[in-house]
Structure 1
């Protein structure tokens, strides 16, 4: 089952890669000319060269967002599988609530397009959509962790629908909240709170949780933050290189988020004793 899901996700991602390539090859940067430039572009926040002649002002930082698209398609297929195979007798709490997986998959895809829009255009509205996608992903993972820590609360089918609606509305509200609270404060609070809940849930269900996924999630995000910082500080920076630190940030941040999801979604097989 997982092999088919991975293959389909890769195939859809390759199609999107082709579409991106054709857009970048056939359109020019004049498409964005009348839009307000982002503060990031004015301060040259990232290492990659801002080629205003190209449709993708920052090509590598735009293409690399397809990693979020891959994970989004992957998670949506898992959600479809869980929904199709029933939720009443689901092996774990995550599989019993496929709506959460659908929402997370949608957030991955939303972030993929939002961040690509930002790095392609380097516009103010693009930056806001990019950050809203980031908050959407982080907020959904936080709610997922809360759902598992408070496992004694039994959600009816109707309650699950309301929960998805409320989280979706909260994501939209963060579009405005982001203007009131700095991302350097709000985003770490969301991530650290999620991590605290992961630790609590691991203590609650040690035999049903993979410590490998938990540790991988932490390692990926710590390394990602370090690489992103080096990119912003222009350390080891080559604006015209195929290697861009911010592109690696996209990859590692995506992997970290997926590992957090996998921590809840996949139950490790029981240990065999002899």
Structure 2
């Protein structure tokens, strides 16, 4: 089991290193002129983040752009889990989410989508980039909420065809957030999604204490709280150095990505997971 976990980690790291190479190649061969003519985002106009906006570079904010690859790493990891779960079906030892590989695949794809969308935004600091970034954020948040709902209402079983329809509906819901987030401020909408997910995680923990790791749950919530605080400090320009390799918003990316993965792991890695267990 540990060998499988290491293999998935190695493959995910390899793909991520390849993406770092792609990012480096783009940033060294292209210039910031490619973004000219596109509407600048409000955050760029107000200088929302600490990192210096170097409009001459293809990546206007290099550190904040590269740090999004943490989402890519976890997205690739979860996609591989989904493919493994699909290959191992049907297995009586599979837990509820292992029996629904499409749901894991959606989680992985949403993380990759967020990685690309947020990198696009910090590279260009454009209005459309910010919209894609936020839609990726809501994609991950909505998918985690759906995973939690799926486990809390564990008595509901879906056929394979119903699962495909269900995933299609969730994808349409995620895409609808392109418009929804223009109507409801993210300062209200995003915390509401996160808190609702955590209420459901708490309920599910008490439903299945023997099959859930409280440490995964606690670690995830501590990381997201710390991440939100660091993000706020970055916006407030506290301890800010625009030219430093340390950027608070990039740390937000790292911690938020890890927190999302741990929330997923809370459901995926259980004593009944015979096909792959964490070390």
* TM-score of the aligned structures, taking structure 1 as reference length: 0.97
1:203 offset after TM fit, Å?
A: 0.1
Whether 2:240 is the aligned partner of 1:237: answer yes
Task: Give the number of aligned pairs.
Answer: 270
**Which residue number corresponds to residue 156 of structure 1?**
159
1:187 offset after TM fit, Å?
A: 0.5
The answer to whether the 8 Å contact 1:213/1:259 transfers is yes
**Which residue number corresponds to residue 253 of structure 1?**
256
Deviates further, 165-174 or 84-93: 84-93
**Which residue number corresponds to residue 27 of structure 2?**
24
Separation in structure 2 between the aligned mates of residue 165 and residue 183 of structure 1, nearest angstrom: 24
Aligned with residue 192 of structure 2, among 179, 189, 194: 189
Separation in structure 2 between the aligned mates of residue 216 and residue 18 of structure 1, nearest angstrom: 31
1:156 offset after TM fit, Å?
A: 0.8
What aligned pairs does 1:47-196 form with structure 2 within 5 A after superposition?
Answer: 47-196=50-199
1:41 offset after TM fit, Å?
A: 0.1
Separation in structure 1 between the aligned mates of residue 53 and residue 21 of structure 2, nearest angstrom: 22
Separation in structure 2 between the aligned mates of residue 198 and residue 37 of structure 1, nearest angstrom: 38
The answer to whether the 8 Å contact 2:41/2:130 transfers is yes
Separation in structure 1 between the aligned mates of residue 23 and residue 231 of structure 2, nearest angstrom: 24
Separation in structure 2 between the aligned mates of residue 210 and residue 227 of structure 1, nearest angstrom: 26
1:90 offset after TM fit, Å?
A: 4.2
Aligned with residue 6 of structure 1, among 9, 25, 36: 9
1:269 offset after TM fit, Å?
A: 7.6
Unmatched segments (≥5 aa) in structure 1: none
The answer to whether the 8 Å contact 1:135/1:171 transfers is yes
Separation in structure 1 between the aligned mates of residue 58 and residue 93 of structure 2, nearest angstrom: 46
1:108-129, Cα deviation, whole Å (9 max, x unpaired): 0000000000000000000000
Secondary structure, aligned partner of 1:81 = helix
Secondary structure, aligned partner of 1:235 = coil
User: Higher relative CO (CA 8 A, sep ≥ 6), structure 1 or 2?
Assistant: 2
Secondary structure, aligned partner of 1:48 = coil
1:95-144, Cα deviation, whole Å (9 max, x unpaired): 01011000000000000000000000000000000000000000000000
